[in-house]
Structure 1
């Protein structure tokens, strides 16, 4: 009996040791910034040869391994997160399988930009979920656009796929991918003191090192898989997730910037009691990033609307606004967007706008 007990304990220790434990990822994926180079035998100039030619990744189709800076033919590729990146040609893809927790919500953060055509699209997939990111709009003129995309894990492993679904006249044209990271998200709940979930935007996607431009939350993100838990990006253009290390943030460490006027809207559906009165308060300001001019944030809830003007000098500052609404349904959508389009005073090629923070909804008495 003692022998069997000793054997059982030994096997238990073996299979629960770190060597057999699943390591979940936080931050860059293995070779997520593509700085681990392929061998010279796996390259034909810049074109990767063979599906396993890029360390830690599987490739399909024409994928180029490039270095940032001037390119042959007079082009220039901006690689914001390191030195190397990959370019996805017609119908090409790169993929990687990673361990995840079934049922958990995750956000992918990645640097992406177009290189040739105006209508380039990057398709992000974690089967069965898939989403297309239009890359026509350059939010940062230096090519440092960083995006986030959310998904909910359905099994113990997730296959992360980046695919170029387009067909360009030049087969080498296609989106540039220069860093990929992941973060498990923990969806916050509403409380009796605030019906808004993630009211200060503190729970959000991973911020890549040197993410001085923030992280773009692409359009048409549903709340069930949003990279900004609780919130829906329901507009045609992105909303930007920013942090206090690089921007002016009124409360806490995170906020959102409404960077594309009325095409940059963020919303949340909250539980309400019909015919009950509620108070909404929120903070608007500028991100201290040179975004200047007469700003206006419009807020909507049930049948009520509030327009909040803010005169920005691009040097940081904020104000708080509030209004009341009577609930009509058991669910009420609260929506915020910027009335106008803005660019930075020192860079007319970079879109910007007012920031939104600390959204609060509570029942009030008549």
Structure 2
């Protein structure tokens, strides 16, 4: 009997591991670090041993953090989800092998991170052979925790996800705290309506959003050849991001997702589309507020070819939006559609916020309609 029970446990363990290794949308295996090292694998908060944290491999000075514990410098560390997280010290990293991916498919990784005592923190995120640098020195929430997204295109069915702290501080423990690592397959961006020339104009396709974190997901700046966590769109900036919102926690003009321009003039949301020089087009979009307390005259500028439309939305911070249209003539075979917040706005708690953009469409004006415009 004992042998058969042991055999059944072995089969069950095999099935569980097989399911976990497929990496479905959502948390990675032990992605919230609630399963921790045994006591003999730790020296205080310092994790000893490369495979001491289940489902992860570590390198360098990695600490296992329990929510509410007080550090040597008197700082109390909070954890956004569950009770445990990890902190990456100087040149430390964590990694997990992603499996069951489809070659050629794009994926987005979402994770939560919090700064500690370093001033100019950043994280290197890679899924070989692709890598990116995520600046995390700007904090967009009052809790100190933000969720970040990083996207890549799978070259193989399996690859290592690595999150690395490249910083070198006097205090080796001055590094970011990491929690809640998830993955999501990104579908090819499609046009949201038959005549809409823009892809993913409603922003419904994007990075994984944690259902229990009420602060959205930051989409970082990227080079033009990078894979975007927000298919169809690129964020142009040096160090700033835009925020991806869900309707469960924010006011969204249409559907279940939208984008908040939280960095003022320091970041722009861009999509490039093929056009015919001399032909007229209409760019339509919604601009409003996320019902997150961001009050005041929120201004967003929309650009396309030589056209520019400044929109000022008087927000009470409780939700709402206005619909806007920009008519322009294309001057080249490729036209950039650009949205940019023209002010730096703050909520009452001092955190950055800005206008919300959603439901964007670009349509060609038919010739007979264009004639009416100029009659």
Is 1:74 the counterpart of 2:77? The answer is no
Deviation at 1:19?
9.3
CA offsets 1:235-280 (integer angstroms, 9 cap, x no match): 2311000011100001000000001111131010111112111100
| 1:234 partner SS | strand
Tell me if 1:325 matches 2:328.
Answer: yes
1:57-87 superposed Cα distances (whole Å, 9 cap, x missing partner): 0000010001122423211223112211111
How far has the Cα of 1:222 moved from its partner?
3.8
Q: Give 1:13's aligned residue.
A: none
Structure 2, unmatched stretches of 5+, are 1-14, 371-375
Q: Is the 8 A contact 1:291 1:313 kept in 2?
A: yes
Question: What's the counterpart of residue 211 of structure 1?
Answer: 213
Which consecutive residues of structure 1, in runs of 5 or more, have no partner in the other structure? 1-16
Aligned residue in 2 for 1:166: 167
- When normalised by structure 2's length, the TM-score is 0.90
* Contact residue 79 and residue 143 of structure 1 kept, 8 A: no
8 Å contact kept, 2:36–2:52: no
The answer to whether the Cα contact below 8 Å between 1:283 and 1:321 also exists between their aligned partners in 2 is: yes
1: CA distance between counterparts of 2:168 and 2:16?
A: 46
Question: Residue in 2 aligned with 1:235?
Answer: 237
Aligned to 1:361, the other structure's residue is in SS state strand
Which of 231, 245, 249 is equivalent to 1:246?
249
Q: Deviations over 1:195-214 (max 9, x none)?
A: 01000100011111312000
Report the secondary structure of 1:173's partner residue: coil
- Aligned CA distance change for structure 1 residues 340 and 20 (closer, same or farther; 3 Å): closer
Q: Return the offset for 1:221.
A: 5.3
Could you say which residue in structure 2 is the equivalent of 1:303? Answer: 306
Q: How far apart, CA to CA, are the structure 2 residues paired with 1:343 and 1:68?
A: 28
CA deviation map 1:160-181 (0-9, x unaligned)? 0000111101111111111100
Partner Cα separation in structure 1 for residue 16 and residue 86 of structure 2: 33
Question: Cα RMSD (Å) of the superposition?
Answer: 1.7
Secondary structure in 1 aligned to 2:270?
Answer: strand
Aligned residues, how many?
348
**Counterparts of 1:139 and 1:217 in 2: how far apart (Å)?**
12
Name the CA distance, whole Å, in 1 between partners of 2:74 and 2:296.
Answer: 36
Displacement of 1:189 in angstroms is 2.3
Please give the secondary structure, in 2, of the residue aligned with 1:125. Answer: strand
1:32-52: CA deviation from partner (whole Å, max 9, x where unpaired): 000011111111110010101
Residue 52 in structure 1 maps to residue 51 in structure 2: yes
1:118-169 CA-partner distances (Å, limit 9, x unpaired): 1111111111111111111111121221011110000110210000111101
Q: What is the alpha-carbon distance in structure 2 between the residues aligned to residue 279 and residue 164 of structure 1?
A: 45
The residue that corresponds to 1:197 in the other structure is 199
Q: How does 1:216-295 map to 2 (within 5 A)?
A: 216-220=218-222, 222=224, 225-236=227-238, 237-295=240-298
TM-score (norm 1): 0.92
Deviations, residues 299-349 of structure 1 (Å, cap 9, x unaligned): 11111111001011101110011111111221111000100111113x11x
SS of corresponding position for 2:237: coil
Do the aligned partners of 1:118 and 1:135 also contact (CA within 8 Å) in 2?
no
Contact 2:23-2:183 within 8 A present in 1 as well = no
